[in-house]
Amino acid sequence: MAEDGRPASAADSAYLTLRGDILSGDLPADERLTELGLAERLGLSRTPVREAVKRLLIEGFLTRAPGEGLRVTALQADEVEQIFRIRLMLESYGARRAAEFATEAEIAELFRLAEEISARTPARSDADYDAMTEANAAFHRTIMQAARSPRLGSMLSLAVNLGLVLRTYRMYSAQDMTRQARHHHDIAEAIAARDPEWAEAAMSHHVLAAAAIARARHGQGGSRPAA
């Protein structure tokens, strides 16, 4: 929805800004908000803000209590685990389907992206980090596209959004990074081999490894303190 290169609409940028503010803690949990207040904060009218708020409500970042107004949802203790579990299910299924339906062009793209990630590993500069993050996102996006299931794609993008904060490679050790980079090659090969089982297992492995890293870095809680 905000994945293309066109200039983001005001509604999209409002959504991205607010989500970022929530994840970064700039808008603290349990913060009481109003649409008008957010509109002024962003320098927009209420219309695009309303759209963004609606979306954030659907995605669970915000809560609208009947008499309590709008609130930032507090992350639960095991939220990170849940997100990874959901990602695990959806992405593994996506990889399975990609092995069945990917075009040759998509497979080539997967190998290209895996190569690009490897070339930057281990990251040494901000540019490396950014490029890796982008290539990684593109890799997963390509797989979902190859899965030929728009529904699955939209659901996953929701789950990934939730885990966005975890997608930064900056918390990875050099060893972590090389391992994850290898995984991308494995996944691409499994899909190229048209082997759904292998692709599913490779993706499961990949996501579980990422979960383990996140768990180790974050301890039990999320990146945003629960209180």
Tokens of 142: 């390509």
Tokens of 196: 């759904």
Which of DNA, its own copies, none has residue 137 at its interface (CB below 5 to 8 Å by kind)?
none
Closer CB to DNA, 29 or 138, in the complex: 29
Segment contacting its own copies (CB under 8 A): 120-128, 133-141, 155-163, 197-205?
Answer: 155-163
Write down how long the chain is: 227
User: CA angle, corner 41, sides to 40 and 45, nearest 5?
Assistant: 35
Residue 10 within binding range of DNA, rule CB under 7 A: yes
Shortest spacing between CB 19 and DNA, in angstroms: 16
Task: Name which of residues 42 to 101 contact its own copies (CB under 8 A).
Answer: 51, 54-55, 57-60, 73, 76, 79, 82-83, 85-86, 89-90, 93
Which of DNA, its own copies, none has residue 95 at its interface (CB below 5 to 8 Å by kind)?
none
In this chain, which of 44, 89, 152, 209 binds DNA, going by CB under 7 A?
Answer: 44
Residue 158 within binding range of its own copies, rule CB under 8 A: yes
- How many chain residues are in contact with its own copies, going by CB under 8 A? 28
Cis peptide before 122 (omega within 30 of 0): yes
210, amino acid identity: A
In this chain, which of 16, 25, 31, 35 binds DNA, going by CB under 7 A?
Answer: 35
Q: For 47-53, which contacts have Cβ atoms below 8 Å and span 24 or more sequence positions?
A: 47/11, 48/9, 48/10, 48/11, 48/14, 49/11, 49/14, 51/11, 51/14, 51/15, 52/11, 52/12, 52/14, 52/15, 52/18, 53/18
Using CA atoms, how far apart are residues 113 and 136, in angstroms rounded to an integer?
A: 7
Shortest spacing between CB 52 and DNA, in angstroms: 9
Shortest spacing between CB 105 and its own copies, in angstroms: 20
- What is the H or E stretch that residue 69 is in? strand 69-72
Spatial contact of 227 and 74, defined as CB atoms under 8 Å apart: yes
Shortest spacing between CB 43 and its own copies, in angstroms: 22
Residue 218 within binding range of DNA, rule CB under 7 A: no
27, amino acid identity: L
C-beta neighbour count of 86 within 10 angstroms:
18
Residues in contact with DNA by CB under 7 A are: 9-11, 33-37, 44-48, 50-51, 64, 66-67, 69-70
* Residues lying near its own copies in the complex (CB under 8 A): 1, 51, 54-55, 57-60, 73, 76, 79, 82-83, 85-86, 89-90, 93, 148-152, 154-155, 158-159, 162
